[in-house]
Amino acid sequence: MEFLTASLVGWSRAQFAMTAMYHWVFVPLTLGLGVIMAIMETLYVRTGKEEWKTAAKFWMRLFGINFAFGVATGLVLEFQFGTNWSNYSWFVGDIFGAPLAIEAILAFFMEATFISLMFFGWKKLKPGAHLASTWLTVLGATISALWILVANAWMQLPVGMEFNPDTVRNEMDDFWSILLSPVAINKFSHTVLSGWVLGGLFVTGISGWFMLRRRHADFALRSMRVGTVFGLVASLLVLSTGHMSAYNVAHYQPMKLAAMEAHYEGYEGVELVGVGLLNPDKQSWDDGVQPVVGRIAFPKMLSFLGFSDFNAFVPGIRDIIEGGYVQPDGSVALSFEEKHERGKLAIQALADYRRAMANGDTEAAAVYKEQLRQNYAYFGYGYIDAPEGLIPPVGLTFYSFRGMVILGGWFLLLFAVLGFMAWRRDITRCRWMLWAALITIPFGYLAGEFGWVVAEVGRQPWAIQDILPVQAAISSISAESVKLTFFIFLVLFTVLFVAELRIMVRQIKKGPEVQDDACGTDNVKTEK
């Protein structure tokens, strides 16, 4: 945690990361649990069985609690772009702000409209109309995630823009290339599906708790069947989108891929490290020390995941810094020194252009503008003084990636085994599996956080890949003020998190027999 010592950049990063991680506690469950409750209500409308209606209402209550807390943390997260990252907001606000504005105007108001109909319309709407409001609430939450993830994906792969030296701002010139970029499509799919996995884990684990307590047996069995099938399908889809994530990272963010694998020296047919420990003797990117010890690896799998070719060359950290290798587009990679020099040329050309324009020298301004255009792709490298500044935290990225993958494999196995047992109706005989389902719930959250650590820590030092490093993106405020608000938000979000846990646990303990609740439940009691 050395970067936190009285550093404005460090504390700004820490505050944003803390807010984002708390926010992500609530978002994935909203995405996954929303679909599950909508499936259960669909089964009620199609079969007319009150048991499905009771189940849908129970999970809907938990969805509502989680949704409310997610909104609170999300608002704070967006405000931080203006308070802590004002240079970033000025530099790319014309592009980054557009998806967030669409999210607020379209998705948020869509959710706000239909969620009220969903909760309070059980007795006022026909079953089909109420079902439509439920699905539209879920769709609104998913669309909200879409626009936020499009904005994040653009930070990983900045496309569809043109830099305006007169305003010193990047301006959108191709909305569809931003929305449909390969990173945006894959990030949306992979992230939403990971939320579905968490929803499956949550429903499966809570159903297991009811079975362990021998309460609401029919409700628990129905919910577990839906949760395990839903979670299994989502887990299999996550695998496919995970492969595409690796492909995109290899092509557009090779340094992130190298950090994920602690891959320092490039070669053909690179193995994928399954498990291993980072070598504490590895001190530098060019010292020749073996970076991972005690490892178990899958031959040539990293080459295949990154380039769909078992014998593909995968550049390591040293290769990316020194350059000279052939990139996927056929060009030869520049070294850090070359990129740094071109970045400084771009920064200087911008200053010279603005000075020439201020003096009315349009001829010189045109020359400087062309020089800026030719070197703008390396603009951000002009702010990085040493090659070490390009290397993200390898340890955190390496271990987070392994944690995410290992947990994902466990989830897949758990859904398969529990689903098989639940459909055979002998699940209660294996109590240790029910305990495993319950205990696995927090690991579902942990896997999602690991994924975001890989995505965001692995992207460092960039706020926007290759264009804007984090040290050039922050606001001109005191580090002490950011430090103070960090702890204020930490306390506030921790209180919110504990409050949500207590409310959720209280509602779960009441079970699906709650009387006259916000969902409009008729005085229905299910079996104990």
Quick one: average pLDDT of 258-271?
94
**Nearest alpha carbon to residue 5 among 280, 385, 13, 397:** 13
Show the 3-state SS of 273-305: EEEEEECCCCCCCCCCCCCEEEEEEECCHHHHH
Across the chain, which distance is largest between two alpha carbons, in Å? 84
350, pLDDT greater than 60: yes
Quick one: average pLDDT of 232-246?
93
As a residue count, the chain comes to: 528
* Least reliable range by pLDDT among 110-119, 212-221, 362-371, 514-523: 514-523
pTM across the whole model: 0.91
Quick one: average pLDDT of 215-238?
94
Q: DSSP label at 269?
A: S
CA angle (437 as vertex; 421, 413 as ends), nearest 5:
65
What confidence tier does 413 reach under pLDDT thresholds 50, 70, 90? very high
Residue that wins the pLDDT comparison between 261 and 514: 261
- The pLDDT assigned to 403 comes to 95
Interatomic CA distance for residues 84 and 76, integer angstroms = 11
Q: Are 250 and 257 spatial neighbours (Cβ–Cβ below 8 Å)? A: yes
**Nearest alpha carbon to residue 246 among 407, 444, 405:** 405
Angle between helix axes 182-212 and 394-423 (nearest 10 degrees) is: 50
Q: Average model confidence (pLDDT) for the chain?
A: 89
Interatomic CA distance for residues 488 and 124, integer angstroms = 43
- The pLDDT assigned to 376 comes to 94
What's the pLDDT tens digit per position in 426-445? Answer: 777 788 999 999 999 999 99
SS3 content of the chain, % helix, strand, coil (to 5): 70, 5, 20
Whole-number percent of the chain with pLDDT over 70: 96
Unique residue bearing structure tokens 């990173």: 183
What's the pLDDT tens digit per position in 23-37? Answer: 888 899 999 999 999
Interatomic CA distance for residues 336 and 389, integer angstroms = 10
For 234-257, give the DSSP string: HHHHHHHHHHHHHHHHHHH-HHHH
CA distances to 42, 115, 119, 157, 221 from 31, rounded to whole Å, are: 17, 14, 17, 25, 22
- The pLDDT assigned to 522 comes to 44
What's the pLDDT tens digit per position in 131-186? Answer: 999 999 999 999 989 999 999 999 999 999 999 999 999 999 999 999 999 999 99
What's the pLDDT tens digit per position in 288-347? Answer: 889 999 889 999 999 999 999 999 999 999 999 999 999 888 899 999 999 999 999 999
Whole-number percent of the chain with pLDDT over 90: 67
- The pLDDT assigned to 160 comes to 92
Q: Are 422 and 239 spatial neighbours (Cβ–Cβ below 8 Å)? A: no
Interatomic CA distance for residues 310 and 269, integer angstroms = 6
Rg of the Cα trace of the chain? 25
CA distances to 104, 110, 117, 144 from 113, rounded to whole Å, are: 13, 5, 7, 14
**Nearest alpha carbon to residue 147 among 188, 88, 198:** 188
For 52-90, give the DSSP string: HHHHHHHHHHHHHHHHHHHHHHHHHHHHHHHHT-HHHHH
- The pLDDT assigned to 525 comes to 42
- The pLDDT assigned to 516 comes to 43
Interatomic CA distance for residues 387 and 201, integer angstroms = 43
Quick one: average pLDDT of 509-520?
63
Half-sphere exposure (CA, 13 Å, Cβ side) for 318? 13
Q: Are 276 and 296 spatial neighbours (Cβ–Cβ below 8 Å)? A: yes
Beta bridge partners of 296: 275
* Least reliable range by pLDDT among 332-336, 466-470, 509-513: 509-513
Angle between helix axes 254-261 and 394-423 (nearest 10 degrees) is: 70
76, pLDDT greater than 90: no
Beta bridge partners of 171: 162
519, pLDDT greater than 80: no
Amino acid at 351: A
What confidence tier does 6 reach under pLDDT thresholds 50, 70, 90? very low
Q: Are 205 and 438 spatial neighbours (Cβ–Cβ below 8 Å)? A: yes
- The pLDDT assigned to 329 comes to 85
Taking the domains of the chain in order of start, what are their residue ranges? 16-180
CA distances to 142, 200, 346, 445 from 28, rounded to whole Å, are: 10, 11, 41, 8
Interatomic CA distance for residues 330 and 305, integer angstroms = 19
1, pLDDT greater than 70: no
Distance of CA 201 to the CA centre of its chain: 18
**Nearest alpha carbon to residue 410 among 231, 223, 169, 156:** 231
